[in-house]
């Protein structure tokens, strides 16, 4: 390594990281066991959401009938 790119602190950090990497045992990832929850809605349903849901339902019925 050239000293023009790294100073003494950089070399110590790299040496410490290399030592930690060599010493650390490899661990397999564990499957996610967190409970599945419904997403939290910040805003209560308003009239626009209900109207939009009705329009989408009507469109789906129309598309299924064609």
In three-state form (DSSP H/G/I as H, E/B as E, the rest C), the secondary structure along the chain is: CCCCCCCHHHHHHHHHHHHHHHHCCCCCCCCCCCCCCCCCCCCCCCHHHHHHHHHHHHHHHHHHHC
Question: For the residues 11-31, what does the mean pLDDT come to?
Answer: 80
Question: Is 29 a residue whose pLDDT tops 60?
Answer: yes
pTM greater than 0.85 = no
Average pLDDT, the chain: 79
Q: How far apart are the C-alpha atoms of 39 and 49, rounded to whole Å?
A: 17
Q: Which residue has the higher pLDDT, 41 or 14?
A: 14
Instruction: Write down the pLDDT at residue 19.
Output: 83
Buried/exposed code over 51-60 (b: 16+ C-beta within 10 A; e: otherwise): eeeeeeeeee
Q: How far apart are the C-alpha atoms of 20 and 8, rounded to whole Å?
A: 18
């Amino acid at each position: 390594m050239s000293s023009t790119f790294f100073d003494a602190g950089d070399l110590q950090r790299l040496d410490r990281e290399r030592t930690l990497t060599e010493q650390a045992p490899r661990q397999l990832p564990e499957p996610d066991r967190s409970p599945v929850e419904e997403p939290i809605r910040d805003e209560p349903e308003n009239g626009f959401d209900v109207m939009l849901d009705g329009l989408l339902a009507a469109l789906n019925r129309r598309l299924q009938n064609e």
